[in-house]
Structure 1
Amino acid sequence: MRPCLIVLEPTGVYSTRPSQYFKERGIRVLQVSPNVLSREKELRGKKTDFYDAIKLENMVDKAKEYEYNPLRELVTLYLFLKDIEVKYKNRLERALFLVSDNDKISKERLEKLARGDFTQEELYNLEYTPIVLEEIRVLAKTLLETQEKLREVRKMVEEQVPDDHVLLTIPGIGKLAAGIIIGVVGDIRRFPKPESFVAYCGLDPVVERSGKAVISRGISKRGNRYLRSLFYFLAGRNYYRNPTLLKFYESHKDRLKGKKLYTALARKLGLCGVFGIIISLMSPSDWKTLPLIAT
């Protein structure tokens, strides 16, 4: 039997290989979102491979065609390397604190530490100092290599973003930020409304109501932590360049303070900025022309 159509549930890395395998052999592959599947009730409360297959077969109209997105892989690699960089940097600062009063890391100092050059360092003469110095040398060398690889991958991500991409029209968003958003979000049509996109980022507010009492618990943080961190960073650093964010900042700075204000700005950026500007500038015929919606 040679199938002409395959419907499956995307399960991360485990679904990529079979999807690519069938696509390369001329077989159409459709994927049903796990969120859509979870909203469908199980047949008589049963969950087996047989009944899951029946559900997939009955949901072809809600499935989307599989498309490989190389930018997603590049962004995943970039974020992975970024996590490694942070871990090595934190560990290096800890090691420096054990043997010196100076735990600051500059590029020039990092290069000297990677070569094992401690001649200009004021070190404590302690029992564990020789061991820690070897750890510092290894960490500094690895951190330099990681940063170099990060620069290479960053350039590759930025090259995937067209100069006229709609996200670049938002003040404060450059090619790297746009590439991360494109790579992480994928098909923006899977979000029925802006609030769904904000919830995906974990920036949706948690509100508890009991009678007339209304208690705000902050944001849910149940979403993509990379997008949440990115929007928080962009909003905090560039709100004065964005007229919408600046107006929001001036209106709420007396009521909200510190992180609460910047979190609200991050939510505003995701709600009215990234999602809003894409929807407002697009017509139905434009959906497939933007890299942002390539699955």
Structure 2
Amino acid sequence: MEASFLSAVILPIALAIIMLGMGLSLVPDDFQRVKKYPKAVSIGLVSQLVFLPIIGFIIAKVVPMQPVIAMGLMIVALCPGGVSSNIITFLAKGDVALSVTLTAFSSVITVFTIPVLANLAYQHFIGQTAAIALPIGATIAQIFLMTLFPIGLGMLLRQMFPKFALSLEKVTNRLAGVLLATIILLLIIREWQRLPDFLLQVGFGVVLLNFISMFAGFYISKLLNLNPPQQICIAIEVGLQNGTLAIAITAGLLNNPDMAIPAAVYSLFMYLTGFIAIRYGRKLAATNPL
């Protein structure tokens, strides 16, 4: 399979299906929850949209890695939480309503923040003249079509045909998992010769980004006196990003499969820390019942 077909067709379709599945699980009330607990939503969004990119930038500067790998790591740090975060929050006995709210809001906000911050990162890591590779207006439009449009379509279907939406959600979730696994496999096959070198560079950075962001989300929310389920939720939301979107941006919009390596490795590794979060969250829920 040609790389251009992967980046131009498979990636956008996979991401749109994942976002459609998210939209099918959302209702307008999910966006109203911010009125019920503004403190928790604010802490979660600031942790994800401000602290996470800062953590990613520091790691990309401190850990020795090629510029394209550093840029790929930054794209991961700029992405919103993924659909998996909602499922893992549920299994970890976290605040699922807060998780859905944070995922929904961050998905909307990052449509506008990713192009701006990615451009700054591109100028820093790749070079001033390369900034034209990510035009802000066109990038916002493309991310909108790959994320917000299918989310809106899914919410519309949920409102108009609730039973059909419920059955379709199950199909999209399974299909999304298969497509993501296929994308990662194709990236591994394509970069097989250089993969060991990439893993040496990106492996440590990905582990640091994943662990530090989860710890930051957890302890910031704990320090600000959120309850244990909210602490677990924010740790997971900040720690588990939308790897598919990161791959779509790097391999698709930026047309650089090398940049997609951090996102591919991250998409696999985050399930390990997700499992750890589930174990810890269940233990915390048993010892700190609301």
Shorter-chain-normalised TM-score: which range?
under 0.3
- Larger RCO, structures 1/2 (Cα 8 Å, 6+ apart): 2
Task: State TM-score, norm by structure 2.
Answer: 0.26
Structure with the greater alpha carbon radius of gyration: 1
Which has a greater percent of helix? 2
